[in-house]
Structure 1
Amino acid sequence: MDFAFDARTEELRAKLLTFMDEYVYPAEAVAEEQRAKLASPWETVPVVEELKAEARRQGLWNLFLPDSEYGAGLTNLQYAPLAEIMGRSPQLAPTATNCAAPDTGNMEVLTQFGDEQQRKQWLEPLLAGEIRSAFAMTEPEVASSDATNITTHIRRDGDEYVITGRKWYISGAMNPDCKIFIVMGKTDPDGDDIRRQQSMVLVPRDTPGVTVKRAMQVFGYEDHSHGGHAEVIFDDARVPASNLIGEEGGGFAIAQARLGPGRIHHCMRLIGMAERAIELMCRRAVARTAFGKALAQQGVVHNWIADARVTVEQLRLLVLKTAWLMDTVGNKGAHTEIQSIKIATPRAVVDILDRAIQLHGAGGVSQDFPLAELYAGARTLMIADGPDEVHQRSLARRELKKYL
């Protein structure tokens, strides 16, 4: 395993680091000021469109997509250090480079499973950053970590599908630029194979029967930059049968194909969040005095910073190994490692952010520093894309199987 960055990765890293310093970090405060003046807090602030135009101009666009016909054609190992850099400003950088979830996963689904018409109608404007999208899977009434529990019904009626169900925490759905939902539901709820009961369909936002009911908060945050997280009602919403993605009964397999890359992307960005936390800790420690000496001279602060550095280096190696395996043996061959990073990374980054907040005192929980919002995002990822306990259960079973 050679984790040295190749020439293309080094070039993109250098460009992206400069882009962050010159454009993204200065735009963070501007975005907050602009949002306060918008008619709706869910609208995209003007500075984001400026960032997108500059990122496109510099070739920092669709870096996540390994399909060279549609994206940058990077491997997971090449993309990993770039996603880490973007994770340092998760509210702006991924969107600025058109590498933000859930659009990334939806574009991957359309690239792999969409037909020609679906790609032309929805993938092309997503690739161009002209529209946003949402992935409607999670439901409030069931344990959605087990996709076989999904209760939303997708019924065939002639040349149409009729969708009925209730979804929540549908990321990006509050953004008025979100024009399309990929909805997962059951087309064969009584089928013998519980992993062949589900299908996915494309449902335009303006379809009669689709209601974006309310915004869901995350630790009190509404995540305006991301486009929010919504509760969405589908009440006999009708779409053409041609809006089916892939085949009937293929929804579970598509979800698994979508979630694998999504999990590693989250972990890559989490490492960037941890790096920013360490930077803020160090800056605070040398600038702040308590009880007659700088915080940087306090032994407990030394421990926090040292432990954080060791943890980040360990996590990065595990994520890079996972990326390398995904590239060389495929997602299935990297299953153990994907689950390992999904378990290890959010909880470790939450701990680092917690220490950083503590070091900043009252400022750490305020809006004057990004730490509280970073903490909310990192803590949520212990639930999103499958709770940690689900991955622990699966990983433990795989280990025990060797001895049974």
Structure 2
Amino acid sequence: MKSKVVLAYSGGLDTSYCAVHLSKDLDFEVHAVSVNTGGFTIEEIQTIESKAYKMGVASYVNVDAIHTFYEKVVKYLIFGNVLKNNTYPLSVSAERIIQAIEIVEYAKSIGAKYIAHGSTGAGNDQVRFDMIFQTLAPEIEIITPIRDKKLSREAEIDYLISNGVDMSWDKARYSINKGLWGTSVGGSETLTSDKPLPGSAYPSQLKKEGEEKVVLTFEKGELTALNGEVNPPEKNIELLQNLASPFAIGRDVHVGDTIVGIKGRVGFEASAALIIVKAHHLLEKHTLTKWQLQHKEYLSSFYGMHLHEGQYLDPVMRNIEAFLKSSQEMVSGDVTVSLKPYHFSLDGIASDHDLMNAKFGSYGEMNKGWTADEAKGFIKILGNQNRIYHQVNSES
């Protein structure tokens, strides 16, 4: 019997090469798997499946992991207001972790002794996939033909044609990776430091003018409703994306440090992710104490960094998630957002847990909770250490 190999399959050139090579050259029984973490239409799944069988695979499966992706990762990115380098909502790197976990589970379920993926040796995904695979299934061998052979695009196309797979492999000018938490956009401009992506490169083009208001309802940090209509959070993310994308909101280019130590640029469009993070953060500013906000900020930064670098399975991630979940007990209320061409603004919040409660005083106005003498005494004691330091050191 042939040995089974599970191939992480996207339908692109690299994974198509892997499918044919593993089947014809290495004589594997190839089981192709795609993991849907958002962004797939039924028609796209059917196209990928059809293409996989043309590559000679024994089976093809598309795993629906949208809910899992939200519960295990996206939820905590929202709790932590995570934006890598204050810019990028980790759209792609967050997906890869769940995709890798689902692929391992599928490989175990069919008794496969090998897992293959089409990552190159110069990117982040090779690290994320390999670390998950070798941690959860050290007994399963990892095969990476593109990385090992250092293949060029032209060499892959020639190989496929020579094996009777003569499909249109014309490279699109821009590579698009769409998921629940945003869409990445790569092109020649992102390979340099000086050029912006043109507006036409982004998947959503401006279709709406004017201004449209939307109310986001959060319960304990989770997005439970849009404009009063209750749905599961992952569904609300998709609905908000549909509302915001006609305004071409959420475009930017992220510059960051890759896991392998080189700098990289990637364009992205993530209207729902950016709106949710900013709206959630505003609600937190009203409902959390200053010390909660301070400690959340650095722990959230670490969480995003570890996730980006493929360290999802380190137990410290569960520790940080426990803190983030605990911090959301009072983060409930409505946030009103105005959608406009190419941008959005946060109008305000309404919450029963709003610490900006007028009965305790209004900032810059009349004090209601303390007397003038109490304020003077507080300020004097608060400034004690500064006063002592400057008096002692001015005499030396």
Q: What is the TM-score when the length of structure 2 is the normalising length? A: 0.27
Higher-Rg member (1/2): 2
Greater relative contact order structure (CA < 8 Å, 6+ sep): 2
Q: What is the TM-score when the length of structure 1 is the normalising length? A: 0.26
Larger fraction in helix: 1
